[in-house]
Structure 1
Amino acid sequence: MTTRPLFWKRLGHPHRLGAAAVLLAAALAAVGLTVADGDFLARASSLVAGVVFGVALQRGELSLVRAWRDLIVLKDAGQLLGFLAALFVAATLTLGTLAALAAVPPADARIGPVHWLLPIAGFVFGIGSVIARGGVMVHMRRLGEGSLVAVPALLATFVGFVAGITIWPWTWAHAIGNAPTPWAPAWFGMAGTLALQTLLLAALAAALWRYRPRDDDDGPKSFLRRALIDPWPAWAAGGLLGALVAASYAAGEPLGLIAECATIARWFATALGLAPVDLPGLDEGVGGLSAPLEAFGVTQHVVILFGFMAGAFAAALASGRFRFAGFTLREGAEMVVGGLLLGVSAMTALGAITGEAIAGVAVGALSGWIFLISASVGIVTALKLDRRSAMMSVVPPPSA
C-alpha cells in the first residue's frame, strides 16, 4: 500500500495564506510592469484582468459544456443563466457606455467576419469541447487547479492553432477575405441594439427560469467561506466576467486568451516552413484579432495568460480545490483529439467563447451570436451522441 507525502495531502485543504501570497506576487508584478511601461494600461491592466478572469472562472467553475450537460442531465440551468448574465452585463456596460458617450467601438473590437466556415468552426469547437471535457479557458483553469489532464489538451490545442495557421491562406481566400462584418448598431444604433439583445437574453432567461438551481439552506455561513471556499453562483461569476469584458473594452484591449496562442503558432509554423511569411489579415488584424509575425515577448496577451493562471491557482488554493490529478492513456488520447479540434476551430473562428462570443455580443457583432449558437449546437449534439458516464455524469466537487 502506498501513501502520499503529508504535504501532498495538505494541498487539498484551504490555504488562504498561500492564496494571498500568490495574489500579492501578482500585485507586485503589476506594479513592476507599470513602472517599466510608465503606464498602468499598457501591460499591468492586462495582468490584473487576467487574475480577476482566473478567479471568476475558478470560483464559478464556468464551462459551456457543463452548462448544457447540467441542463440535459440534471435539469439545472444555473450555468446557462450564468452565461446569460455574462452576456447581459458585457453588452449593457459596453453598448450602454458607447451610446451614452456617442462613441465608436475600439479599432480592435471583436466584430468578426461572417462567412460559411464560421458556423462550421463553432460546431466543431463544440464537438471538441465535449471530447476534451471543456474549452481552452476551462483547461487553463484546470491547470491552475493541478489537473495534469489539461497538459495534453492545451498542447494539442496549440498544435491545432499551428494547423489553422498552416491552412490560413486557403481559409482567407475561400472564406474570410471577402466576408462581410455585420454589426447590429449600424442598423439599429447602439441603444436599439442593446434593447434588442436585452429582450432576447430576457426571453432566454425566462425559458430557463423554471430550471434555475434551488438554494440549499444549510445554515448561515461567513462571508469568507462564501467568497473563498464555497463555489460561487454561476450568475455571480458570469456577471463578473461580463464586467471584465466591458472593462477590457474601456482599456482598449478586448478580453480573450486566444491572441497570443495565434501569434506564437504563426511564428512556429513559419519557422518550420509550414506557412508563408506573409499571411493576409493577421498582420493588420481581422475581426479584432491580430497575430503579427514576431518573436515571443512579454506582451499584453502573454501577461493576461499568466494572470489567469495566477488567479485560478490562488482561488483553488483558497478553496482547497488544488490537488494534483493524473489521467489515463484513454483520457490523454481524448484530450489530444479534442484539443486539436479546439485549436483549428478557434483559429478559423478568430476566437473562442470569451473572445469571439461574449466580447462579440458585447459590441453587437453578429459573428459572436453565430459562434455561440453553433458551438452550443455542437456541444448538445456531442453530448446526445456520446452518453458515456465520463461525458454525462456529474462529478461532485472535492470537499473543502
Structure 2
Amino acid sequence: MTRPLFLKHLSTPRPATAAALLCLAPLGAWVFAVLDGGFGDRSWAVIAGAIFGVALQRGELSLVRAWRDLMALKDAGQLLGFLAALAVAATLTLGALAVTGGGRPENARIGPVDWLLPVAAFVFGVGSVIARGGVMVHLRRLSEGSLVAIPALAAVFLGFVVAIVHWPWTWATAIADAPTPWLPTWLGPAGTLAVQLAALAGCAAMLWRFRPPAPDRAHGLVHRVFVQPWPATAAGALLGCLVAASYAAGEPLGLIAECATIARWLTTMIGLVPQELPGLDAGVAGLKAPLLQGFALTEHVLILIGFVLGAFACAVASGRFTIEGFTRRDGVEMVLGGVMIGWGAMTALGAVTGEAIAGVAVGALSGWVFLVFTSLGVIVALKLDPRSSVTAPGPTRPERES
C-alpha cells in the first residue's frame, strides 16, 4: 500500500521544515505574553515544553533504555546522560542558592520520604519496562508517529485515576505526617552541591569505561544538530539547564501535574472522591492538582503542547516521523505497564524529571530515593523479562538523503 505523500515527506530528514515548526514556540509565547500582559507562566510553559521535547527526542533519553544498554550492550551513554542532567541541574540550582543565600525555594520538588515512596518508585520502574518507557518516552513516541503510545498514555491516565481514588488513604497513612528532608538544612546549599557532585562523579567514574565512542563528525553542523542523534550527555545537559531555568521561573519542570488535575476532576465528577482532597489544593512537594472549574489553557496544558511540538519538529528534522502500528500483545503490555506508571507517578508525586532530576537539583532526599528505587525496579524487571523485544535495542531506521 502506497503511503500518502505527506507521510513520505515527513519520514525524510527536513531540517528547514523543523526549524519553521520550532518558530511556533516563540510565536505562541508572544501571543500568551500579549494575552497575559507580560511574559508569565504560560509563555514560559510553551518555551520550556518545546525545549523539553527537543532534548528528549534528540537524545532519546529513557531510563529503561539507559539500564538496558548498560546490561545488554555494556554501553553507559544513556546513564551518563542522566548523570549530566543531574549534575547540571544541581550545579545551577544549588549554586544559585549558595550565591544568593536563598532559603528553601517555593514550590520546590522537596517530597515526603515515607514508606510508600520506594514502593511507588519501584512499581513505576517495573511498569516502565513493561510499557518500554515512561511518560515522557511515550509522549516522544507519539510525536514520532508511534501509535503504541496511545494505549500506553491512556493507561497512564487510568493509573492516575486509581491513585486519586485512594488518595485519602495515601495521604492519611503515608504522606501527611512524613518528613520532607532537605539536605541544605544540614549541609547548606554549597555543601549539598559538593556532596551530590561527588556522588555523581563517583558514578560517572565507574561507568566511564563503558562510555560510547565519540560521535561521527564527518557531516556538517546542521546534519549533526538536526539529523544525527545527539550524545545523551548533551541532551542531558540541556535538560539540566531547563530544570534549573524552570526553578528560576518559579515552576518546577514536570509533565504529570495536568494528568493529576484531570484525573481529580473526573473522579470527583463521578463521585469516586470527595470535593476536598488534602494536599492537592495547596500543593505537596511542588505538585498542585486543584479541582477544575472548566477547561483552560493553563501552563500545565501548554507545557505538554510545547513538548509534543518540540519532539515532533525534531522527528521531522531527522526523518524519524513514521506512522507505526502495534500488535494486540503490545497493546496489553502498554495498558498493564501504563497503569503501573500512572499509579507510581501520582503516588510518588512525580516521575523521572519532576521527582528525580528536579528533586536532586534542589537537594531533596526524596529525589534520590525515587531515582534509586525506580532504577531498582527497572533492573529487576529487565532481569525477569529477557525477551529481545524488551532487552534489545530497536531497529535503527535507515538514514535517508534529504
TM-score range normalised by the length of the shorter chain: over 0.9
- Is the 8 Å Cα contact of residues 15 and 227 (structure 2) preserved in structure 1? no
Query: Structure 2 matches for 1:44-83, cutoff 5 A?
Result: 44-83=43-82
Q: Mapping of 1:103-118 within 5 angstroms?
A: 103-118=102-117
Find the counterpart in structure 1 of residue 251 from structure 2. 253
SS in 2 for 1:89: helix
CA distance in structure 2 between the partners assigned to 1:252 and 1:11 by the alignment: 36
Determine the structure 2 residue equivalent to 1:297: 296
Aligned to 1:127: 126
Name the CA distance, whole Å, in 2 between partners of 1:253 and 1:191: 22
2:272 corresponding residue in structure 1? 274
Paired residue type of 2:191? G
Task: Please tell me whether the aligned partners of residues 122 and 375 of structure 1 are also in contact (alpha carbons under 8 angstroms).
Answer: yes
Q: CA deviation at 1:214?
A: 1.3
- Structure 2, gaps ≥5 residues long: none
- The answer for the alignment partner of 2:340 in structure 1 is 341
Whether 1:166 aligns to 2:165 is yes
Q: 1:398 is matched with which residue?
A: 397
SS of corresponding position for 1:220: coil
Query: Identical aligned pairs, as a percentage?
Result: 65
String of CA shifts for 1:195-220, please: whole Å, max 9, x gaps: 00010000000000010001265x62
C-alpha distance in 2 between matches for 1:17 and 1:225: 11
1:213-258 deviation digits (Å, cap 9, x = unpaired): 01265x6210000000000000000000000000000000000001
Question: Which is worse superposed, 16-25 or 40-49?
Answer: 16-25
1:263-322 deviation line (CA, Å, top 9, x unaligned): 111001100111111100001111111111013311111110000000000000011111
Residues in 2 aligned to 1:31 and 1:111: alpha-carbon distance in whole angstroms: 32
Q: Distance in 2 between matches of 1:42 and 1:346?
A: 23
1:179 maps onto 2:178 in alignment: yes
- Asked if structure 2 preserves the Cα contact closer than 8 Å seen for 1:157 and 1:343, the reply is yes
AA matched with 2:281: D
Q: For residue 179 of structure 1, what is the amino acid of its counterpart?
A: A
Alpha-carbon offset, residue 55 of structure 1: 0.3
Mapped contact 2:84–2:236 kept (Cα < 8 A): yes
8 Å CA contact 1:108–1:289 kept in 2: the answer is yes
Paired residue secondary structure (1:43): helix
Say if 1:99 and 1:190, in contact at 8 Å, map to a contact too: yes
Say if 2:381 is the partner of 1:385. no
1:228 pairs, out of 217, 220, 226, with 226
CA contact (8 A) 1:34 1:42 kept: no
Distance 1:330 1:166 in 2: 28
What is the TM-score normalised by the length of structure 2?
0.97
Cα distance in structure 2, aligned partners of 1:379 and 1:185: 29
What CA deviation, in whole Å up to 9, does each residue of 1:149-171 have, x standing for no partner? 00000001001101110000000
Which residue of the partner structure matches residue 207 of structure 1? 206
Separation of aligned partners in 1, 2:130 and 2:65: 12
Secondary structure, aligned partner of 1:143:
helix
Name the CA distance, whole Å, in 1 between partners of 2:33 and 2:186.
Answer: 40
Deviations 1:54-91 (A, max 9, x none): 00000000000000000001000000000000000000
**8 Å Cα contact 1:33-1:43 kept in structure 2:** yes
The number of equivalent residue pairs is: 398
CA contact (8 A) 1:19 1:317 kept: yes
Amino acid across the alignment from 2:63: L
Distance (whole Å) between structure 2 residues aligned to residue 127 and residue 40 of structure 1: 40
State the distance in 1 between where 2:338 and 2:330 align: 12
Task: Please list every run of 5 or more consecutive structure 1 residues that lacks an aligned counterpart in the other structure.
Answer: none
Aligned to 2:42: 43
Is the 8 Å Cα contact of residues 67 and 379 (structure 2) preserved in structure 1? yes
Amino acid aligned to 2:349: L
* 2: CA distance, partners of 1:73 / 1:167: 38
Q: Deviations for 1:19-75, whole angstroms, at most 9, x for unmatched residues?
A: 123212222111100100112132111110000000000000000000000000100
* Letter of the structure 2 residue corresponding to residue 89 of structure 1: V
Q: Is the 8 A contact 1:264 1:296 kept in 2?
A: no
Bigger drift between 331-340 and 291-300 goes to 291-300
Question: Residues 87 and 386 of structure 1: is their aligned pair in 2 closer, same or farther, counting only changes over 3 Å?
Answer: same
The corresponding residue for 1:375 is: 374
TM-superposed deviation, 1:4: 2.5
Q: Partners in 2 of 1:147 and 1:139 — Cα distance?
A: 9
Q: Distance in 2 between matches of 1:163 and 1:212?
A: 40
CA distance in 1, matches of 2:39, 2:224: 31
Cα distance, 1:395 vs structure 2: 1.8
Deviations 1:361-395 (CA, angstroms, capped at 9, x unpaired): 00000000000000000000000000011101112
1: distance between equivalents of 2:239 and 2:143? Answer: 18
Task: Give the Cα–Cα distance (whole angstroms) in 1 for the partners of residues 311 and 159 of structure 2.
Answer: 24
Q: Is the 8 A contact 1:135 1:342 kept in 2?
A: yes
* RMSD of aligned residue pairs (Cα, Å): 1.0
User: What is the letter of the counterpart of residue 290 of structure 1?
Assistant: K
The structure 2 residue matched to 1:264, chosen from 248, 262, 265, is 262
Q: Is the 8 A contact 1:19 1:315 kept in 2?
A: yes
Contact 1:77 1:212 in 2 (8 A): yes
Aligned match of 1:243: 241
Matched-pair contact (CA < 8 Å) for 1:109–1:288: yes
Give runs of aligned pairs for residues 351-362 of structure 1, distance below 5 A.
Answer: 351-362=350-361
